[in-house]
Amino acid sequence: MNPESTFDSLPVFLVLGASVILMVLSFEGGAFLGTAHKKKLVKEQLSQVRSLMGAGLGMLAFMLGFSFNIAQSHFEKRNEAYLVEINAINSAYLTSGLLEDQTKSSRKLLRDFVEERVKIEEAAVEGRMDDAMDGIQDGEKILEDLWEKAENLQAEFGSSATGGFAQSILTMIDANESRKHAALYNRIPPVIWIGLFFVTALAMLVMGYHAGLTGARSRVATWTLALSFSLVLMLVADLDRPKMSLFSVNHQQMLDLQESMDE
């Protein structure tokens, strides 16, 4: 499993800086071309360029909103899978109390699983993705042991006695797969990022071209617009990756669960 995607290895503020530079350079390039063609300008051409500029900025705003919506959806799915897993672990821990002589061993496996989850979250926050991936694999081995125990208990005592425990373990397995898929694979495709930056550059190029044709330029307005669009790009990039810098999943519930299991 490779969790790295388009911007995963880049600091979010590097994404911000690169986006601002791209936009400003595109604007300046367009302004240079506009100034060079200013002498050949006719009224109809200026009207056409103005219309193209509005269309380009509108398309850029649409694509930014579309990308932000996708990234936010991924973030919400990670949160949802996290809460489902928390509830399933707690349910499995409680129902394991009905397993009589198997209660102690079952609860030890559940505590080990929660401990691995806490380690994974700490590693992800610190950017130690190799350690996080190792932790995911160790957690899946514990889930296999728990499911094997559930199968053996059902074969020995029947589903009426162990069905709640087995169902909780199955929910844990499903939640683990959902979290892994949402964090590592359910990402904004590279082709969308390429298209987004390409549309950004073209929109700023046309805007600069229009400024060059009219001879009306404001560097403050240019940098403000570039920074605004770049901030949105940075937020989208951070929301879409598992090791977020500006956003974070509240892991306190897992810590609270771990503490309650140790009592």
pLDDT digits (tens, 9 = 90+) for 181-218: 877 777 888 888 888 999 999 999 999 988 888 887 78
Contacts of residue 174, defined as CB under 8 A and 6 or more positions apart, other chains included, come to 84
Each residue of 45-59: pLDDT tens digit?
A: 777 888 888 888 888
CA-nearest of 111, 135, 141 to 123 is 135
Contacts of residue 172, defined as CB under 8 A and 6 or more positions apart, other chains included, come to 85, 88, 89, 92, 113, 143, 146
CA distances 209 to 19, 221, 228, 243, Å, are 19, 15, 20, 39
Do 262 and 111 contact (CB within 8 A), yes or no?
yes
% of the chain exceeding 90 in pLDDT: 17
Each residue of 106-156: pLDDT tens digit?
A: 889 999 999 988 888 877 777 677 787 888 889 899 999 999 888 888 777
Please report the pLDDT score of residue 3 as a whole number.
45
Least confident of 6-10, 38-42, 83-87, 144-148: 6-10
Q: Is the pLDDT of residue 249 over 50?
A: yes
Least confident of 222-226, 231-235, 247-251, 259-263: 247-251
Domain ranges of the chain: 12-261
Please report the pLDDT score of residue 22 as a whole number.
92
Each residue of 233-244: pLDDT tens digit?
A: 888 888 887 766
Q: Is the pLDDT of residue 173 over 70?
A: yes
Query: The tokens 């595109």 sit on which residue?
Result: 26
Across the range 220-243, mean pLDDT stands at 87
**CA 157/CA 163 separation, integer angstroms:** 10
Mean pLDDT of the chain: 83
